[in-house]
A and B are shown apart, each in its own frame.
Chain A
Amino acid sequence: MLLSVALASSWARRHTLLFIVLTIAFSVMLLLSVEKIREEVRDSFNRSVSGTDLIVGARGGELQLILYSIFHIGQASNNMSWTSFELIKNNKQVAWAEPISLGDSHKGFRVVGTSASFFEHYRTGLQKKLLFQQGKGFSDLFDTVVGADVARQLGYQVGSRITLSHGVGKTSFSEHDDRPFSVIGILQPTGTPVDQSVFVSSQAIEAIHDGWQAGSRIRGQQLSEGEIRKKILQPKELTAVLVGMKSKLGTFHLQRQINNYKAEPLQAVLPGVALQQLWQLIRVAENALLLVSACVVLAGFIGMLAVLLTSLGTRRKEMAILRSIGATPWHIISLLVFESTLVSLVGTITGMLLSFGLLMFAGPLFELHFGLFIQSAGLSLEDLPILLGVIFAGALTGLWPGYRAYQMTAADGLTVRY
């Protein structure tokens, strides 16, 4: 029964309350967006390794291996030998093994040297196969397949001619401009680093480095295209191997075998385990971000407290009138708690909508600059405790002004003192 009075009273002061609603809305927006991006980062990482059982590379950090081989973050400190790759590939328990040779780039995008069957075996998301939006996988030595982002940003079509650069920087001083490639296929978007990769065959990597030593071209040792095609291009080294097992049960056995391999220092990593390490590493940063967002929410509530307490001065008469017609102190307190709850509720809902809007607007930018693919701007179940928490904290915030109002009406009685 007091509800309509409370609503009418809040509505009458809507211009002041609007700003508090906005403060809370922005803080909730920040909180939700940070949460969402955090979830999406994890999703995006998990998506990229969904079909791979083991990643094998030169011995070093487990996390480092997965970061450079799958996510193209950082560089390999060592390569592994092609002989070891063939041993793994021919293991009875292995269903498939794809070589990964890194170290070159094309206009800032990483070049991945692999075999044609990579496109058959690699999986993203929920075991989704790579699909071509145009063309097909490479068959010729100088064919290349590019990811969706590469094609979109550089405007490539099937048939475009490109050259690769030595090294992985955005600008490179040593170009493989003597060996042009033609785009034969363009992949569909996956929301993984595949979108930002340029795929060529392992042999092509060998071919473009023929006549190179220690990162630079050796003069006078240049072979013509015809000559290079005739040469047997057997790669001697590669960066990493992605392995798919016939049965998951064999995974640990093979991992142990590889880790104990005497001929070469190798390591085999379970992608899920390595990612766990990554989460532990970035948890500190995540928590710091969440803490900052929570502080912004807190600041919002302090603002609301200030506004509610200030409003009490002008609402003294309102309280006295309500007391005179029989409102109890509880009615007065609930009036203010109702208002703070209402403001928090409206603020939270507005914040949710703002967050959706922000992520929808900023989603493409994230994809462009960080390769982070925001799948859905929808509300996830994990956000619910946050939202309820904010509304509950808002309700609690109303208790103090409520108590002050009660004290005031007790002191005023029916004559308002100013």
Chain B
Amino acid sequence: MSMVAVTLEQVKYSWKKGVPTIDIPKCDIKEGEKVLIQGPSGSGKSTLLSLLTGLLIPDSGTISVMGHDVTLLSPSKRDGFRADHIGFIFQQFNLLPYLSLKDNVMLACRFSPARMQRALLQYVSMENAAEHLLIKLGLEQQLRQNVTVSELSIGQQQRVAVARALIGSPEVLIADEPTSALDAASRDAFIKLLLTETSQHNSTLLLVSHDETLKHYFDRTILLKNINNAGVYDAA
């Protein structure tokens, strides 16, 4: 029997009083599961991500990640918890343009001694860990040529972001529409790579997207409107 990675129970959140954005009675995501969370804009995706990463605290209810109720943690503990357990991938512009590719990847360990320990255990040095990940993600040439972030294509930048999310093997990977800026070909390649890598790291993957064609890559698809009672939807 597999463990539960993420649990939401009776989670309510509203930006404005009386107008709830999130009202999720129950949602479980199992450890190692690859889940696509689908919903159009305005369905509360961003708010859900902020709640899952502990940047926002729900008005009521509990959110457990890897058995820890994040709603009970202090703000700085939540920041530490996010650093240790969650790898995050943005839609785009994931990287700090003034750092090298390797430094961008290693950045994720700067705020998490736990992830640094794990990376060191696996690869002896942080540099090694970052290089190893970048090479596995097909960026060997760029690494050797020491290119800058701005010289990379968007797809390549997203792959560096995956390396950063994976370094030190956090239990949960959360990606916020990571393919929206990619064309169809590179999108499929990127998703395949992301899934392979997360599987190898035994990580749980939550990918938020409105793109229905991604469905068949995932173990499960959650439609936000099915779990969220508070979403604002178009009449269609």
Contact = CB atoms under 8 A, between A and B. Distances in A.
Q: Do A and B bind each other?
A: yes
A413 B50 contact: yes
B151 to A, nearest CB: 15
Nearest to A327: B111
Contacts of B164: 325
Contact of B98 (A1, A2, A8, A330): A8
Contacts of A324: 53, 82, 88, 90
A320 interface: yes
Interface string B171-212: 000001000000000000000000000000000000000000
Contact of B55 (A2, A11, A413): A413
Contacts of A328: 75-76, 79-80
Nearest to A9: B98
A322 to B, nearest CB: 8
B46 interface: yes
Contacts of A321: 90, 94-96
Nearest to B80: A326
Contact of B79 (A5, A12, A320, A326): A326
B153 to A, nearest CB: 18
A1 B116 CA distance: 13
B188 to A, nearest CB: 25
A126 interface: no
A50 B97 CA distance: 64
A318 interface: yes
A327 B111 CA distance: 6
B27 to A, nearest CB: 19
Contact of B46 (A1, A323, A414): A414
A413 B90 CA distance: 12
Contacts of A257: none
Given A1-B110, A413-B50, A414-B49, A325 B88 contact: yes
A171 interface: no
A415 B75 contact: no
Contacts of A414: 46, 49-50, 53, 55, 88, 90, 176
A2 B49 CA distance: 25
Contacts of A59: none
A317 B79 CA distance: 17
A329 interface: yes
A328 B164 CA distance: 18
Contacts of A330: 76
B48 to A, nearest CB: 10
A37 B110 CA distance: 49
B49 A415 contact: yes
Contact of B97 (A2, A5, A12, A413): A12
Interface string A330-370: 11000000000000000000000000000000000000000
B167 to A, nearest CB: 10
B82 A326 contact: yes
A9 to B, nearest CB: 6
B101 to A, nearest CB: 13
B107 interface: yes
A403 to B, nearest CB: 15
B56 to A, nearest CB: 6
Interface string A295-327: 000000000000000000000011011011111
B217 interface: no
Contacts of B75: 328-329
A328 B49 CA distance: 17
B109 to A, nearest CB: 9
B202 to A, nearest CB: 20
Contact of A415 (B79, B82, B95, B176): B176
Contacts of B56: 413
B53 A325 contact: no
Interface string B61-97: 0000000000000011001101110001010011111
Contacts of A8: 96, 98-99, 103
A414 to B, nearest CB: 6
A2 B96 contact: no
A413 B22 CA distance: 15
B108 interface: yes
A86 B80 CA distance: 90
A11 B98 contact: yes
Contacts of A327: 79, 111
A318 B96 contact: yes
Contact of A325 (B93, B107, B176): B107
A329 B109 CA distance: 18
Given A9-B98, A12-B98, A325 B108 contact: yes
Interface string B30-49: 00000000000000001101
Counting chain A CB atoms within 10 Å of each CB, which of B46, B49, B93, B110 scores highest? B110
Contacts of B111: 1, 325-327, 331
Contacts of B108: 325-326
B112 A323 contact: no
B115 to A, nearest CB: 9
A333 to B, nearest CB: 13
Nearest to A318: B96
A4 to B, nearest CB: 8
Given A1-B111, A325-B110, A413-B46, 14 more contacts: A8-B98, A9-B96, A11-B98, A318-B96, A321-B94, A321-B95, A325-B88, A326-B80, A326-B82, A327-B111, A329-B75, A413-B49, A413-B50, A414-B50
13 contacts: A1-B110, A5-B96, A8-B99, A11-B98, A317-B93, A325-B111, A326-B111, A326-B112, A328-B79, A413-B49, A413-B53, A413-B55, A415-B46
Please name the 3 residue pairs, one residue from A and one from B, whose CB atoms are nearest each other, closest first.
A326-B83, A326-B111, A12-B98
